[in-house]
Each structure stands twice: as structure tokens, then as C-alpha cells.
Amino acid sequence: MSILLQSPYVETNGTWLRGNLHAHSTLSDGVLPPEEVVATYERLGYDFLALSDHDLVAPVAALQAATEMTLLTGNEITANGPHLLHVGARERVAPEADRQAVIDAVCESGGFAVLNHPNWGEDFDHFPFRYLASLEGYVGVETYNGIIEVLPGSPFSLDKWDRLLSTGRRVWAFANDDFHAPPHAARGWNMVQAADRSAEAILAALQTGRFYCSTGVRLAEIEVTDTDLRVAAEGAAHIRFIGKWGRELALVEGNEATYRVLGNEGGYVRAEVYGEGYRAAWTQPVWLEQAG
């Protein structure tokens, strides 16, 4: 019986765009006013940015004329429970303690939900796995959150993401700064392959997984064929291919590698590409299904 590879990286003749979906201004607990947050990311060469102040939707339309970046609406739903992003928000969603009700309201009001920094805190458990697994309707999780570099816990949550994937949940990985001050900028970002630079095109690409996460490595190629997953990067030291329960399927030295699917991977394959120091990039999963 043959294996069918289902990849989010389809119809990807668009432009790669760099962006951050998690940033705070003086409208909540950030140190810079909204216009200076926008200017900070424009100086860094970003293509899109979402302001995600706590429990309010910043008026980004008033800021759009002053920047060439695409500004996305959003907010971080914070009060009364674990935090989540509402990306592409048309209106504020009340921060109810019932996070499933919050996610449902996000989906009904427009935009989508991303669960934030799951491994934040002294117990490394801001979002316990059982809670993550019990919720429905969210698009993905922050597998990297930059501000947790300087707070208790781990900025990475690839472990919980792999557990979700291994139990059949089809959710995407996100990497964001959680910007509150200039030292937090450009720690982690999302590289999106969108049809154009409009907010609509960027949001559509994010929802369908046409992006990868990075803390400093830029991918030159992501190719999925009937049998293979191939990745290439500039300045990569080694590449890991990961399957069910986070198992390493292959480790390849160098800046390009191809993994041929065998059928025993456990439902998905994804790639992690490592460069110098802590610099890395990771793809979304390619799903494996039996055909015929």
C-alpha cells in the first residue's frame, strides 16, 4: 500500500515574507507607543507585524499609512486563563475563563487563535498538555516565544507540539517575539509564503501552514514530492527529520537534505535545520496517509 504525502507547501510561487504576530505597546504593558513598535520592526526589515496588546485590539489602520509593512490586527487574550493570540481580529473577544468558549468566539468573529508560550513558568506548564489536547478550533501553538528567554520556563515547546501531532492534531508551529521592549525584537519569526503582501493573503497562508519558523536560519528550499521531503538552507550545519513522538528519523550534516518516506514514521514528518549557536528553523509537518 502506497503512502500519500499531504503538504501545506503547495502553490507556493508567492513571496516569502517575514513577520511577528506577538508584540505589545504602551496600550498594554509594552514600553514603546504603537508607532514606535511599528518603526522598530520596519527598521529590522520585517514585512508584516501584528500588534497584540493584552485584551484589546489596537487601531492599526491609523498606523498603516506610515509604514510599508503590512499591519495585522490582533490581541493577546490574557485575563482569566492561559494566554492566546487572536490574529486578524475584527473585534475584541471577552477573556472568559472558559478558553474553549474564547476560541469559539475568536473563530466566529473572524481571525484565528494561536496558543501562547506553553512552557512558560517555573513549572514549564503555562498550558498543560491535557489542556492543550482538550481544546478544539485553534490553528497552532507558539513553539518559540522570545521573551521566555529571559523569564522562567522554556521559550521552546516543540515537545508539546510533537505530542499534539502524534495524537492526530493538525496544528501549526509559530515563532514570535512577544515584544515588550527593543531587546526582545527579532528573536523568532514566521516566514510566510503568501500570494501577495495584503493582510488577506498573509492570514490565508498562516491559516493553511504555508510558512516556517525561524530563530535565525533562512530556508532556501522546501520541496515535497510523492515520496520525499527536501529542505535546503543558507549556512546550515545539520538537518534533523522528526516523526511521531519527536523521534529523530534522520540526521544529515550540511545545508541540504532529502528524507525519503518509508511508511513507519507515524503519521507525519517535519524538518529542523540548525545553524550557528541557537539559530534554527523548523518546517510545518508533512502528513502521511495510506493511499488505496
User: Tell me: the pLDDT tens digits for 70-129?
Assistant: 999 999 999 999 999 999 999 999 999 999 999 999 999 989 999 999 999 999 999 999
Confidence category of residue 11, pLDDT binned at 50, 70, 90: low
Let me know if residue 88 belongs to a domain.
yes
Please write the tens of the pLDDT for every residue from 167-180: 999 999 999 999 99
pLDDT over 90 (residue 235): no
Confidence category of residue 12, pLDDT binned at 50, 70, 90: low
Confidence category of residue 13, pLDDT binned at 50, 70, 90: low
Q: What is the pLDDT of residue 14?
A: 77
CA distances (Å), origin 96, targets 54, 80, 106, 121, 281: 14, 6, 12, 21, 34
Give the chain's domain count.
1
Integer Cα distance of 284 and 219 in angstroms: 13
Let me know if residue 284 belongs to a domain.
no
SS3 content of the chain, % helix, strand, coil (to 5): 20, 35, 45
Let me know if residue 151 belongs to a domain.
yes
Q: Are 72 and 64 in contact (CB under 8 A)?
A: no
Let me know if residue 136 belongs to a domain.
yes
pLDDT over 60 (residue 45): yes
What are the grid coordinates assigned to 172, written together? 501549526
| % of the chain surpassing 70 pLDDT | 98
Q: What is the pLDDT of residue 258?
A: 98
Closest of 242, 236, 178 to residue 50, by C-alpha: 178
Let me know if residue 106 belongs to a domain.
yes
Integer Cα distance of 77 and 101 in angstroms: 12
Phi then psi for residue 87, to 5 deg, are: -95, 135
Number of H helices and E strands in the chain, helices first, is: 6, 19
Question: What is the domain range of residue 66?
Answer: 2-212
The CATH number given to whatever domain includes residue 125 is 3.20.20.140
Integer Cα distance of 53 and 41 in angstroms: 16
For residue 64, give the 3-state DSSP assignment: helix
Sheet holding 140-145, edge to edge: 74-77, 84-87, 112-115, 140-145, 172-176
Task: Let me know the angle formed at the C-alpha of 201 by 203 and 85, rounded to the nearest 5 degrees.
Answer: 10
Let me know if residue 138 belongs to a domain.
yes
Q: What is the pLDDT of residue 216?
A: 97
Let me know if residue 272 belongs to a domain.
no
| % of the chain surpassing 90 pLDDT | 93
3-state secondary structure 211-273: EEEECCCCEEEEEECCCEEEEEECCCCEEEEECHHHCEEEEEECCEEEEECCCCCCCEEEEEE
Let me know if residue 42 belongs to a domain.
yes
